[in-house]
A and B are shown apart, each in its own frame.
Chain A
Amino acid sequence: MTKDTEALKEGDLYTTYLHLNMGPSHPAMHGTVRIYLKLDGETIVDSDVDIGYLHRGFEKMAESGTWTKVIPYTDRLNYVSPLINNVGYCGAVEKLLGIDITERCKFIRVFVSEISRIVDHLTAIGACALEVAAYTPFLWCMQAREEFYFLIEAITGARVTTSYVRIGGVRWDLPEDWVERYERAEKKLFEMLKDVEALLTRNRIFIDRNAGVGVMKAEDAIAWGFTGPCLRAAGVDYDVRKAQPYLGYDRLEFDVPVGTEGDNYDRYLVRLEEIRQSVRIIRQVIKQIPEGPVNISDWRIVLPPKEAVYNTIEGTIANFENVMKGIQVPKGEAYYAVEGGNGEVGFYVVSDGSGKPYRVHVRPPCFAIMQALSDMIKGRLVADIIPTFDSINMIGGEIDR
């Protein structure tokens, strides 16, 4: 209904709503999203959130190769925390296979997950700052993130396209100097965080732009299907690592930060605190990680070691069959969820008994959250979209797959 259908008083100017297209190509629209706005001046009357611009057919592509071939695709889901996706997918297939990984592998997976989480939150906090024109804290976050990327590169060989985790283990053991490398990154992290917090947390402009903006209360958040920092900022104490522990998280001590207002500012604080909790987890992992093999010894699932592959017929055959025919996963279905940077990342895998997946479905946490964006910005100004959208931390690769 446009304004001009209402009775116009004499002397009124003819007005109508402004239909403004924000995105998909827009500096503030992370990972290509289109928000179609119906504006009354600067006020948002209604909006339509349009996703799918980064849809690359991940779930369909997963059906065309073997189980192992899906792993590089999972890197490209949430591309700021790719290791968490790797862990989630491999965990789902291991659940379907009914196998248990080695102790050392569990701790390694926890370690890389938490590092990825720190990177994800640093990116989110940095972007929150950047888009309300706080350029300096953004660059500081990026500096801290760089140290973690150096660490990830030393472990996996790549910064973003890690493909580190394998079904039944990980690609290779951690490098020998991983503790020193981590400690260097942690030192830089706290240096930067101290300054970032100093500039942002009690910053008048930051608070004005973020506090009370993009409010999502607990009841609505649960109804929408929120998980992760957005849900916890609303006051709901739900973390997959505590609710459905995996990889031995129940042996580790950590707290789950919970907010009260459910606004952008709370989301920022929750993420900040989660970085510190991740550090706490990592410190425990460093103390508790056992020695031992990283991969299980069943050659039907993991590739045999290269000395065996090149020198024995058994190794050659096992490697050949594993690569060419794929891991023979028995018929069945499994759902495995991990706590990602944005919430519960779920992998639903279905096997038809052959070496190829029948179906791989990803539950992207930001999918549920983006549904609510329209509600969160209704009635507010265009300028409020930016910090709200940032604090949701929608990752295009994850939501569109």
Chain B
Amino acid sequence: MPTLKIDGQEITVEPGTRIIEAADRLGIPIPRFCYHKGLSVAGNCRMCLVETNKSPKLVPSCYEVCQDGLEVKTNTERVREARRAVLEFILLNHPVDCPICDQAGECDLQDLYFAHDAKPSRHAFKKLHKPKAKVIGPHVILDAERCINCTRCVRFCEEIAKAPRLTQVHRGEWTHVDVFPGQELDHPYSMCCADVCPVGALTTRDFRFKCRVWFLKGTYSVCAECSRGCAIRVDTFNNAVQRIVPRYNPLVNNFWACDEGRLAYHRFEKDRVNEPSIEGTKVHRSEAIGYLLQVIGHKDVVVVLTPFLTCEDAYIACKVIKTFAPQAKIVVGGRGQGFQDDILIRADKNPNRAGLKVVLAGFGLNLEGVGALSTLQSEDLGVLVFGEEHADAELIKALVAKAMHSAAFACTGKGGLGAKAVIPMPSPYEVNGTFINEFGVIQRCRKAVEPECGILPVWRTMKDISEAKGVALMVNNEQDVFEEMKMVCKPLASLHFSDIGEFGIKLEGFSVESSEAKA
């Protein structure tokens, strides 16, 4: 275990640790462009050069491995000169694009220039021109003049996405990144290339010119498109989602997220159900609650939950149903299986199936699919459906048609499944709650967008049903629900809602059904 000194501070690290990692641990800032913790080391930007006692020349700290007795200095005049030189060369042909570049405000080149250089230009000639605003894929656009040739995107495509679509073309000062002729940047993680790009050379088409980054408010949340549950940050402005970027979570997704999950917010931008309606007529909420009481008052009641619900929503829903309709048959629908790879994308396109399993187990129920209802015959049927995307939609619609009273919670107008009453449901960006992913990691989903005033969390509506029946539930927010839920759901017993931090928590005693994927 080598022990070394960086700027006088001593640290002992595992063998094979690079100097830059050791410095990051000590909190000593070393500027870098090409080094990325999730990618292999390239050592081509030369920004991380430091002075050491074991070499007469400056060494790249992203490449040099820590040795015993190494003394590293990160702030001598030689190091500062080297950084200024690197920045000066990078900026020689860099276009004056800041006013139109999306990266402004989160650009490494801007920040490092101001912190380490801030000298005027000595370039007296015209700048080179390279392809500008070139669409290289369905989600990514290239501005080659801004490229600083760090090769982060090239390494990402090769090592993480396993689809080597990008490369450096030409040579000398003409070098820039591009796709191969006739090919596109078409792998399912293409937007991550724009994330790793330290400048605005690769940007996402979805976010291009949409909003300046300093107006954005970021909310740490969880993606709801598949059972991986990648940690994301939802950036909003004016109460509307502007973009979604992945967050570092070593337990779930490392640094990456797939394009599909990042673009899913478009589904909830329009055509929202924002008021309850019965048979097409908008009604007051109290009428809707009354109708829901009728639905669960039948001799036979079918409740189709969806794994889009958070654990808290599912728990209160089950509790209220079990209390006032103990005869109800509770099944779980949701989206079907889809494409799976061994990087991040999972086949189960629902975020919280594992969470529903835990919640139902707390009520002594097994998780059963909608298929279990195919043989159901009834003359006195009430059907309550949650969520709008169900693989077994036809089966549910058939049941709804047979029912005397039927109600569906839906986000958009595409939901409803023919039910007589449609109740508004918030989108995954409008809820506070927890999701448990396929591998047993429980994460906090946080409200990024304030929904319209008619759209209340599902558990609130279920609580209103209970109160209409005269039983008040002693919960006022999701934290209260969680604290109650963990009394009956064993895997959650030792957790606190407010302690489920940035990375989530891997639950004990959780059986992993499918194999761990790499990434």
Chain A contacts to B: CB under 8 angstroms: 298-300, 304, 308, 310-318, 320-322, 324-325, 328
* Distance to closest chain A CB from B107 (angstroms): 8
* Distance to closest chain A CB from B313 (angstroms): 38
Q: A317-B114, A318-B113 are in contact. List 20 more A-B contacts (CB 8 A).
A: A300-B118, A310-B96, A312-B120, A312-B121, A312-B123, A313-B94, A313-B96, A313-B121, A314-B91, A314-B113, A314-B118, A315-B120, A315-B121, A317-B113, A318-B114, A318-B118, A320-B104, A321-B110, A321-B111, A321-B114
A313 touches B114 (CB 8 A): no
* Distance to closest chain B CB from A354 (angstroms): 13
* Distance to closest chain A CB from B179 (angstroms): 26
A299 touches B120 (CB 8 A): yes
B residues 123-142 touching A (CB-CB < 8 Å): 123
B121 touches A320 (CB 8 A): no
Asked whether any CB of chain A lies closer than 8 Å to the CB of B105, the reply is yes
**How far, in angstroms, from A318 to B214 measured CA to CA in the complex?**
17
* Distance to closest chain A CB from B387 (angstroms): 42
**How far, in angstroms, from A314 to B214 measured CA to CA in the complex?**
21
| B contact residues around A321 at 8 Å (CB) | 110-111, 113-114
**How far, in angstroms, from A324 to B105 measured CA to CA in the complex?**
8
| B contact residues around A308 at 8 Å (CB) | 120-121
Asked whether any CB of chain A lies closer than 8 Å to the CB of B328, the reply is no
A314 touches B120 (CB 8 A): yes
| A contact residues around B214 at 8 Å (CB) | 324
A314 touches B111 (CB 8 A): no
* Distance to closest chain B CB from A219 (angstroms): 53
Task: Say yes or no: A314-B119 contact (C-beta < 8 A), given A300-B114, A324-B214.
Answer: yes
| B contact residues around A316 at 8 Å (CB) | 96, 98-99
Asked whether any CB of chain A lies closer than 8 Å to the CB of B157, the reply is no
Asked whether any CB of chain A lies closer than 8 Å to the CB of B150, the reply is no
**How far, in angstroms, from A304 to B96 measured CA to CA in the complex?**
15
Asked whether any CB of chain A lies closer than 8 Å to the CB of B411, the reply is no
Interface string of B193-209 (1 = CB under 8 A from A): 00000000000000000
B residues 71-119 touching A (CB-CB < 8 Å): 91, 94-96, 98-99, 104-105, 109-111, 113-115, 117-119
Contact of B96 among A299, A312, A322 (CB under 8 A): A312
A322 touches B114 (CB 8 A): yes
**How far, in angstroms, from A300 to B98 measured CA to CA in the complex?**
17
**How far, in angstroms, from A304 to B114 measured CA to CA in the complex?**
12
| A contact residues around B119 at 8 Å (CB) | 299, 314
| A contact residues around B114 at 8 Å (CB) | 300, 317-318, 321-322, 325
**How far, in angstroms, from A311 to B95 measured CA to CA in the complex?**
10
Q: Taking each of A298, A308, A325, which has the highest tally of chain B beta carbons within 10 Å of its own beta carbon? A: A325
**How far, in angstroms, from A308 to B118 measured CA to CA in the complex?**
12
Q: Taking each of A314, A318, A321, A325, which has the highest tally of chain B beta carbons within 10 Å of its own beta carbon? A: A314
**How far, in angstroms, from A180 to B143 measured CA to CA in the complex?**
54
B95 touches A313 (CB 8 A): yes
* Distance to closest chain A CB from B397 (angstroms): 54
| B contact residues around A312 at 8 Å (CB) | 96, 120-121, 123
| A contact residues around B118 at 8 Å (CB) | 298-300, 314, 318
Complex A-B: 26 CB contacts under 8 Å:
A299-B118, A299-B119, A299-B120, A300-B114, A310-B96, A311-B96, A312-B121, A313-B94, A314-B117, A314-B119, A314-B121, A315-B121, A316-B96, A316-B99, A317-B91, A317-B98, A317-B110, A317-B113, A318-B113, A318-B118, A321-B111, A321-B114, A322-B114, A324-B214, A325-B114, A328-B115
| B contact residues around A299 at 8 Å (CB) | 118-120
Chain B contacts to A: CB under 8 angstroms: 91, 94-96, 98-99, 104-105, 109-111, 113-115, 117-121, 123, 214
| B contact residues around A324 at 8 Å (CB) | 105, 214
* Distance to closest chain A CB from B36 (angstroms): 22
**How far, in angstroms, from A207 to B16 measured CA to CA in the complex?**
89
Q: Taking each of B91, B99, B105, B113, which has the highest tally of chain A beta carbons within 10 Å of its own beta carbon? A: B113
* Distance to closest chain A CB from B236 (angstroms): 20
B98 touches A304 (CB 8 A): no
**How far, in angstroms, from A321 to B110 measured CA to CA in the complex?**
7
**How far, in angstroms, from A318 to B111 measured CA to CA in the complex?**
9
Closest residue of chain B to A298 (Cβ to Cβ) is B118
* Distance to closest chain A CB from B134 (angstroms): 20
Contact of B98 among A311, A313, A322 (CB under 8 A): A313
Q: Taking each of B99, B114, B119, which has the highest tally of chain A beta carbons within 10 Å of its own beta carbon? A: B114
| B contact residues around A322 at 8 Å (CB) | 114
Task: Say yes or no: A320-B120 contact (C-beta < 8 A), given A313-B91, A314-B91, A314-B113.
Answer: no
Closest residue of chain A to B98 (Cβ to Cβ) is A316
| B contact residues around A310 at 8 Å (CB) | 96
Closest residue of chain B to A309 (Cβ to Cβ) is B96
**How far, in angstroms, from A311 to B125 measured CA to CA in the complex?**
12
* Distance to closest chain B CB from A69 (angstroms): 15
**How far, in angstroms, from A190 to B32 measured CA to CA in the complex?**
64
Closest residue of chain B to A321 (Cβ to Cβ) is B114
B96 touches A320 (CB 8 A): no
* Distance to closest chain B CB from A66 (angstroms): 12
A304 touches B110 (CB 8 A): no
| B contact residues around A317 at 8 Å (CB) | 91, 98, 109-110, 113-114
Closest residue of chain A to B212 (Cβ to Cβ) is A324
Closest residue of chain A to B109 (Cβ to Cβ) is A317
**How far, in angstroms, from A308 to B120 measured CA to CA in the complex?**
8
B98 touches A320 (CB 8 A): yes
| B contact residues around A315 at 8 Å (CB) | 120-121
| A contact residues around B109 at 8 Å (CB) | 317
9 A-B pairs closest in CB distance: A321-B114, A312-B121, A299-B118, A300-B118, A316-B98, A313-B94, A314-B121, A317-B110, A317-B113
**How far, in angstroms, from A317 to B199 measured CA to CA in the complex?**
12
B91 touches A320 (CB 8 A): no
**How far, in angstroms, from A308 to B123 measured CA to CA in the complex?**
12
Closest residue of chain B to A320 (Cβ to Cβ) is B98
Q: Taking each of A299, A317, A318, which has the highest tally of chain B beta carbons within 10 Å of its own beta carbon? A: A317
Closest residue of chain A to B99 (Cβ to Cβ) is A316
**How far, in angstroms, from A325 to B121 measured CA to CA in the complex?**
21
* Distance to closest chain B CB from A99 (angstroms): 13
**How far, in angstroms, from A299 to B98 measured CA to CA in the complex?**
17
**How far, in angstroms, from A299 to B113 measured CA to CA in the complex?**
11
| A contact residues around B117 at 8 Å (CB) | 314
Closest residue of chain B to A312 (Cβ to Cβ) is B121
**How far, in angstroms, from A191 to B90 measured CA to CA in the complex?**
63
**How far, in angstroms, from A320 to B120 measured CA to CA in the complex?**
14
Closest residue of chain A to B95 (Cβ to Cβ) is A313
| A contact residues around B94 at 8 Å (CB) | 313
* Distance to closest chain A CB from B119 (angstroms): 7
**How far, in angstroms, from A324 to B123 measured CA to CA in the complex?**
26
**How far, in angstroms, from A198 to B477 measured CA to CA in the complex?**
78
**How far, in angstroms, from A320 to B113 measured CA to CA in the complex?**
11
| B contact residues around A298 at 8 Å (CB) | 118
| B contact residues around A311 at 8 Å (CB) | 96
**How far, in angstroms, from A312 to B110 measured CA to CA in the complex?**
13
* Distance to closest chain A CB from B196 (angstroms): 21
| A contact residues around B98 at 8 Å (CB) | 313, 316-317, 320
**How far, in angstroms, from A311 to B94 measured CA to CA in the complex?**
12
Closest residue of chain B to A300 (Cβ to Cβ) is B118
* Distance to closest chain A CB from B212 (angstroms): 10
Closest residue of chain B to A310 (Cβ to Cβ) is B96
**How far, in angstroms, from A312 to B114 measured CA to CA in the complex?**
14
**How far, in angstroms, from A320 to B111 measured CA to CA in the complex?**
10
**How far, in angstroms, from A322 to B94 measured CA to CA in the complex?**
19
* Distance to closest chain A CB from B189 (angstroms): 30
| A contact residues around B91 at 8 Å (CB) | 313-314, 317
**How far, in angstroms, from A298 to B123 measured CA to CA in the complex?**
18
* Distance to closest chain B CB from A321 (angstroms): 4
| A contact residues around B113 at 8 Å (CB) | 314, 317-318, 321
* Distance to closest chain B CB from A192 (angstroms): 48
**How far, in angstroms, from A83 to B95 measured CA to CA in the complex?**
39
Closest residue of chain A to B90 (Cβ to Cβ) is A313
| A contact residues around B96 at 8 Å (CB) | 310-313, 316
